[in-house]
Amino acid sequence: MKEEIVVHGVVLAENSQREFDKRLSLLTMEQGKMTVWASGAKRPTSPLMAGSRSFVFGTFSLRKGKTGYNLQAVKVDAYFTEIASDLEKACYAAYFLELASVVSQENLPAEGTVNLIYLSLKALLHKNLNNRLVRAVFELRLLFLEGEYTEEPPYSKRKAVQEAWQYVLSMPLGKLYTFTLEGAALEDFCENVSALCQESFPVHFQSMKILESLRE
């Protein structure tokens, strides 16, 4: 009998395969990053269609085949389709998935990262939060989860930046986006996080290239 498992997580990426199939990259709480085959998911009548899209959070029922796992069913908890209506927010959201994909590994549970992505996407939809601050908080907390962080900002002695840095490192996830920064403090915080992130993960992300082109 083929092994069946149930995992909880998010669709990081989707790629078309043949006429009606998809190959999904999942980030799961239980097994980290997984590659999953979604047979027939592109058919309009497929029960897998809605749950095999990027940004979908849910419970995924999988069956192990000869070359990997096959998607059997999805119970969707969140779609985040509303992010697509704002191009800037969509770029930041895509970046969160891209960065998570780079740092995550197979067979390494990723509950903290899955929850961080979920809360960060929710934060992007909050009208009173600056998108750049949400990005910086996401990056710094992800660096913390990966053990790539520094206890203090590497290039800033500004008190507000140091306090924000400690807040992001120490607060429970549920309270992560309950502060704001403005003006020079925001710029300083974002620049310090970006420098640390580039040092730890020197990758060029397609989503950020698109965001830069929107600002030109």
**Domains in the chain: how many in total?**
2
Q: Are residues 48 and 122 in the same domain?
A: no
At 1 the pLDDT is: 52
At 66 the pLDDT is: 80
At 175 the pLDDT is: 96
Q: Are residues 193 and 150 in the same domain?
A: yes
Q: Are residues 105 and 206 in the same domain?
A: yes
Residue at a domain's end among 78, 111, 137: 78
Residue at a domain's end among 78, 111, 127: 78
Site of tokens 């190959």 = 23
C-alpha count within 13 angstroms, C-beta hemisphere, residue 177: 24
Which pTM was predicted? 0.95
At 14 the pLDDT is: 95
At 61 the pLDDT is: 97
Q: Are residues 191 and 172 in the same domain?
A: yes
Q: Are residues 105 and 211 in the same domain?
A: yes
Write out the residue range of the structural domain in which residue 111 sits.
83-215
Site of tokens 């979604």 = 38
Q: Are residues 162 and 66 in the same domain?
A: no
Q: Are residues 136 and 177 in the same domain?
A: yes
Among the listed residues 78, 208, 86, the one whose alpha carbon sits nearest the alpha carbon of residue 135: 208
At 65 the pLDDT is: 84
At 80 the pLDDT is: 96
Output helix, strand, coil percentages for the chain, rounded to the nearest 5.
45, 20, 35
Q: Are residues 87 and 194 in the same domain?
A: yes
Residue at a domain's end among 24, 43, 78: 78
Q: Are residues 108 and 55 in the same domain?
A: no
Beta bridge mates, 24: 14, 36
Which regions in the chain score pLDDT beneath 70?
1-2
